[in-house]
Structure 1
Amino acid sequence: MARLSDARQSERAIVDFGKGRPVAIISDAWYPQINGVVRTLQRMVDALNGFGHPTRVIGPDRFRTIPCPSYPEIRLAIDAWARLPKLLDETPDEAIHIATEGPLGQAARRYCLRRGRPFTTAFHTRFPEYVQARIRLPLSWTYGFMRRFHGAAQCTMVTTESMRRDLEGWGFRNLALWTRGVDTDLFHPREKGALNLPRPIFMNVGRVAVEKNIGKFLDLELPGSKVVVGDGPQIAELREAYPEVHFLGAREGEELADLYAAADVFVFPSRTDTFGLVLLEALASGVPVAAYPVNGPIDVIRDPAVGVLDEDLGAAARRALDCDPAACRRYALGYSWDASARQFLDNLSPILA
């Protein structure tokens, strides 16, 4: 048999490392929530099970919950401190990954420290910026909390190199890269008949909340139509303020994929996302991206053929109309969930030994 390449041997080593060891992912974000974190974790569950690591997510659906203040779609576990240790004690050889910093993440961290069980964490969300946008709490306070939370982990997984540099600037250590993938079977170019609106169609998909900066998109002077796909605490306010915009609510699966493909440009006004999974979903659908040149977009949109990054978001959106949809699709094919799962598993390897 021909000798495997170094890359293939490395892949096999990662998949086989600690094979059979179960994995527990603790996350305050889980179904019925629909967002990038939930979609990412579901992909990891599927992949890790396929790699031979029985994987479960312990989310708010297993606990008594209350609605998150100002964000009722998100449910917060209120009995995690008492019930979570019993769930984790059921499988003492599980590798534990703490995905979020909410009540479940806090309870899991305390459990691991008290039991002497190693764990990894992930920095999915720029929580300090979100808090500042809502209640003006200084960034230094919330980054101090986050640094302490993640500091006890074997490693903290981040989505991009620019995110790693930012967090290092805030004093974070033991950071490891864990990028994202896209489902190119679901998200692909299609006929544009899903939206019968004046063209060009400029679209945003995601949570409709103040930290997503959607108002900057809606304020732009653009030809054609603007479409927002998603739900969230700001949707009623924006619907009233922008009656000419088409707000379609949350969509999933094939219906969501049809809508992506019906757009002409995907406009991403967020300045606080750590990655922006929706960027890859748009590109896979053959739709170019317009965004600010900030962390997230600068890591994903690295080829000017597939999008435009500019502090003048309106100019970026208009110029993106000239991008080649076929180039967008080809670019997205370079991002696989399989590679993302291998990175995740590699980051877990110290506690799978």
Structure 2
Amino acid sequence: MRLLIATDAWAPQVNGVVRSLENMAAAGPAYGFEPVLLTHRDFASLPLPGYPEIRLAYATKRHVARLWDTLRPTHVHIATEGTVGYATRRYCLAHRRPFTTSYHTRFPEYVSARAPVPEAWSYAWLRRFHGASNGTMVSTPSLERDLAGRGFTKLMRWTRGVDTDLFRPRAAGEPEPAAFAGLPRPIFLCVGRLAVEKNLDAFLRLDLPGTKVVIGDGPDRARLAAIDPRARFLGTRTGADLAALYPGADAFVFPSLTDTFGIVLLEALACGVPVAAYPVTGPLDVIGGTGAGVLGHDLGAAARAALAIPRARCRAEALRYTWAESARQFYDNIALAHGTAPVRARAPGAAPRSVVGIG
């Protein structure tokens, strides 16, 4: 079976959508699927103004048709609502091919933060986009309830995971991260894209002891750096480099009000770092009631209270989330929506194949 995953989010972007799809594609062979990725790289594209790492693909139904004849997928998953996802959706509808979608990003809130576009208009378009699918995957119970209340149907659960071998507490004898050496304690860490929708203003304006550290980059960096000149901005870090920094923090602060999950929450917990966040979708599902963090509308009070949480409790909570379970849910959903029997994992996954040089 060949699964076409159509996504506008792909490298060099660094975000939870890309990380989730990388892990699902790698797990595909274990479930009897050969994943094939259709991304902006397969089309002519332009950089998004002010955000060059995001490419806007010139993708049309005709382009997808040309690729389809080469790939001949048996199953289709449309991961994003951008030009690649929309063109793939149009092709599937025109040829009566079933497909699933996933809801990763609260675009209505993101758009309204940048332009005077009512959220209701964006949600109406998204309802139509996802309503044509055989199932829409959502990451948390609170997101499922929210979208159901907005008229979305055929919702399917798909959780996320974390690599607890890579993201782990610092072992006895391991040195403190060099980037944190000499910084006043406690260290409050925030990891994410430096863009208006991430609400980093709320973190940087907090009156906290010690040092605020921000990992990530984006179009809002200069403005955010001016809010608190004492905060340290370390730029984008990934892989082992990122995993080595988390354990050096005393608390992880997640100020976003619009994320649908927040994989960085799991990464922090896996490294034994307690979380402070607002009581909204994502943190409510990952942190609420676990004792591994503090949720509150007063983010500063939550951050200070999180310092008292035992690190072992955080690690134990993260161990409940695995990419293996995430993949099981994902491929079960694919099979169910396409009317085929689910396949149990047989062996470790392999890296996905990607179509390149088209467009």
Asked if 1:310 is matched to 2:296, the reply is yes
Asked if 1:100 is matched to 2:80, the reply is yes
Counterpart position of 1:187: 167
Asked if 1:148 is matched to 2:128, the reply is yes
Deviation, 1:72, is 2.4
SS of the counterpart of 1:167?
helix
Tell me if the contact between 1:192 and 1:262 (Cα under 8 Å) persists in the aligned partners.
no
SS of the counterpart of 1:199?
coil
Tell me if the contact between 1:160 and 1:177 (Cα under 8 Å) persists in the aligned partners.
yes
Separation (CA, whole Å) in 2 of partners of 1:88 and 1:188: 42
Counterpart position of 2:312: 326
Deviations 1:54-104 (A, max 9, x none): 112111112211112343221010144432221122233421000000000
Tell me if the contact between 2:4 and 2:73 (Cα under 8 Å) persists in the aligned partners.
no
Counterpart position of 1:171: 151
Separation (CA, whole Å) in 2 of partners of 1:198 and 1:58: 46
2:27 to 41, 47, 53: 47
Tell me if the contact between 2:59 and 2:84 (Cα under 8 Å) persists in the aligned partners.
no
Deviations 1:162-188 (A, max 9, x none): 101100111100000001011101100
Separation (CA, whole Å) in 1 of partners of 2:138 and 2:263: 13
Counterpart position of 2:198: 212
Counterpart position of 1:294: 280
SS of the counterpart of 1:37?
helix
Q: Which runs of 5+ in 2 are unaligned?
A: 341-359
Give TM-score, length-normalised by structure 2: 0.90
1:199 to 160, 170, 185: 185
Tell me if the contact between 1:63 and 1:80 (Cα under 8 Å) persists in the aligned partners.
no
Counterpart position of 1:28: 8
2:247 to 261, 283, 293: 261
Letter in 2 for 1:48: G
Counterpart position of 2:227: 241
Asked if 1:228 is matched to 2:228, the reply is no
Deviation, 1:239, is 1.7
SS of the counterpart of 1:347?
helix
Counterpart position of 1:278: 264
Moved more, 240-249 or 277-286: 240-249
Counterpart position of 1:56: 36
SS of the counterpart of 2:160?
coil
Counterpart position of 1:5: none
Separation (CA, whole Å) in 2 of partners of 1:201 and 1:136: 37
Deviation, 1:44, is 0.1
Counterpart position of 1:351: 338
Tell me if the contact between 1:199 and 1:224 (Cα under 8 Å) persists in the aligned partners.
yes
Asked if 1:252 is matched to 2:238, the reply is yes
User: Larger RCO: Structure 1 or Structure 2 (Cα < 8 Å, ≥ 6 residues apart)?
Assistant: 2
Deviation, 1:244, is 1.1
| RMSD of Structure 2 on Structure 1 (CA) | 1.2
Counterpart position of 2:55: 75
Separation (CA, whole Å) in 2 of partners of 1:73 and 1:287: 29
Counterpart position of 1:8: none
Tell me if the contact between 1:199 and 1:225 (Cα under 8 Å) persists in the aligned partners.
yes
Deviations 1:184-210 (A, max 9, x none): 011000146112111100011011110
SS of the counterpart of 1:133?
helix
Letter in 2 for 1:88: W
* TM superposition outliers: structure 1 runs of 4+ over 3 Å: 79-82
Letter in 1 for 2:51: Y
Deviations 1:262-315 (A, max 9, x none): 111000000101001100000001000000011110000033421000000000
Separation (CA, whole Å) in 1 of partners of 2:112 and 2:222: 22
Deviation, 1:136, is 2.7
Letter in 1 for 2:238: E
Q: How many pairs are equivalent?
A: 333
Tell me if the contact between 1:209 and 1:232 (Cα under 8 Å) persists in the aligned partners.
yes
Letter in 1 for 2:57: A
Separation (CA, whole Å) in 2 of partners of 1:241 and 1:222: 14
Tell me if the contact between 2:106 and 2:260 (Cα under 8 Å) persists in the aligned partners.
yes
